[in-house]
Amino acid sequence: MELIRLSALDLGLAASLVLLLAILSFRLSLGVERKLLIAALRSIVQLTLLGLVLKSLFAQSHPLFIAALALFMLFMAGYEVMARQARRFSGAWGMGVGTLSMFISSFSVTILALNVIIQVEPWYSVQYLIPLLGMLLGNTMSGIAISLDNLTHNAWQQRHQIEARLMLGHDWHKAIEEIRRNALRSGLIPIINAMAAAGVVSLPGMMTGQILAGSPPFEAAKYQILILLLISAGTGFGATAAVWLGSRRLFDERQRLRLDRLKSS
C-alpha cells in the first residue's frame, strides 16, 4: 500500500482541534490554554527541525553528526527531567542526576539492542539508532522524573522522621529506604501500565507508525514488543540509578540530611 503523504492543510486541520481545546480551556477557566498552545507550537517546531536534520543525516550518515545529535537529545532529556521537579537538586546535580542515569540506561540498552538483538550494520545507522534512542530517552525520562520528584518531595515531607532514624543510629540507607522504594515504584508504574494495556486498550505509537507506513502488521507488532521490553528495562535501570544517586546526594559524608541541597522550582 502506498504511503499517503500529509499536506500542510491536513496538519492545519489537526492543529485547529488543539486551538478549539485551548478556547474551551479559556471558557472553563482551566488556566492551561497558554501552556497547551506553547507545547503544541514547540512540538511542531521541534519535530519539523528534527525531520530536516534527519533528512540531512540520512543523506550523509556521518558518525560525528549522529553522535552530536544523540548527545543533544540526551542533554535536552536531562534538562526536561530537571524542569519537571517541584524540588530539584541545586547546581550541576540538578541536571546531572537525570542525565547520567539516562546515559547509563538508555545508551547502554540502545547499543545492546542494535549490536546483539537487531544486529544493524553499522550499529550507528541513523535509521535505527536515533528513533530507538529517542523512544528510550523519552520514556526513561518520564520514569526518572517521576521517581526523582517522588524522592525529593517525600524526603522533604518526612524530613523529621528521617532525622529521627539517623539519631537512633540508622545509616542513611536505612533512614530513607522506604522513601526510595516508593520512589522507584512510582517511576515504574507508567511503563507497567503501558505494557499491560498494549494491544488491548491502546495501539502503541511505533506499531501505529509502521502500519501507517505500510509495514506488515505482524512485523510491526514484533518491533513494538521489542521496544516495550527495552523501554521497561531502560526505565527500571535508569530510575534505580537516579534514585540511588539522588538519595545519596541528600546526605553528606557525615550522613546528615542536607535538604539545603534542594531548591524549589
Domain count, the chain: 2
Domain C-terminal end among 15, 30, 60? 60
Percent of the chain whose predicted confidence (pLDDT) is above 90: 31
pLDDT at 107: 87
Domain C-terminal end among 37, 60, 83? 60
Mean pLDDT of 90-96: 84
Residues 112 and 138 in one domain: yes
- φ/ψ (deg, to 5) at 257: -70, 125
Residues 77 and 45 in one domain: no
Residues 40 and 130 in one domain: no
Angle between helices 177-197 and 126-157 (to 10 degrees): 140
Is residue 88 within 8 A of residue 265, CB to CB? The reply is yes
Confidence of residue 214 (pLDDT cuts 50, 70, 90): confident
Residue 87, pLDDT > 70, answer yes
Residues 144 and 67 in one domain: yes
Domain C-terminal end among 38, 60, 82? 60
Of 16-20, 46-50, 52-56, 141-145, least confident by mean pLDDT is 52-56
Strand spans (E) along 60-138: 87-89
Residues 246 and 175 in one domain: yes
Mean pLDDT of 44-73: 85
Confidence of residue 202 (pLDDT cuts 50, 70, 90): low
Residues 67 and 19 in one domain: no
pLDDT at 155: 92
Residues 7 and 76 in one domain: no
Of 15-24, 60-69, 99-108, least confident by mean pLDDT is 60-69
Nearest to 47, CA basis, from 19, 3, 14:
14
Is residue 18 within 8 A of residue 37, CB to CB? The reply is yes
pLDDT at 55: 82
Residues 32 and 75 in one domain: no
Residue 52, pLDDT > 90, answer no
- DSSP letter (8 states) at residue 59: H
Residue 1, pLDDT > 60, answer no
175: containing domain: 61-264
Query: 18-35, pLDDT tens digit by residue?
Result: 999 999 999 988 888 999
Query: 175-195, pLDDT tens digit by residue?
Result: 999 999 999 999 999 888 888
If one counts every other C-beta atom within 10 angstroms of the C-beta of residue 147, the result is 29
Residues 55 and 69 in one domain: no
Nearest to 234, CA basis, from 142, 128, 129:
142
Residues 260 and 179 in one domain: yes
pLDDT at 93: 85
Long-range contacts at 115-121 (CB < 8 A, ≥ 24 apart): 117/226, 118/226
Residues 116 and 223 in one domain: yes
- pTM for the full predicted model: 0.80
Residues 47 and 65 in one domain: no
pLDDT at 57: 80
The grid coordinates listed for 256 are: 546528615
Average pLDDT, the chain: 87
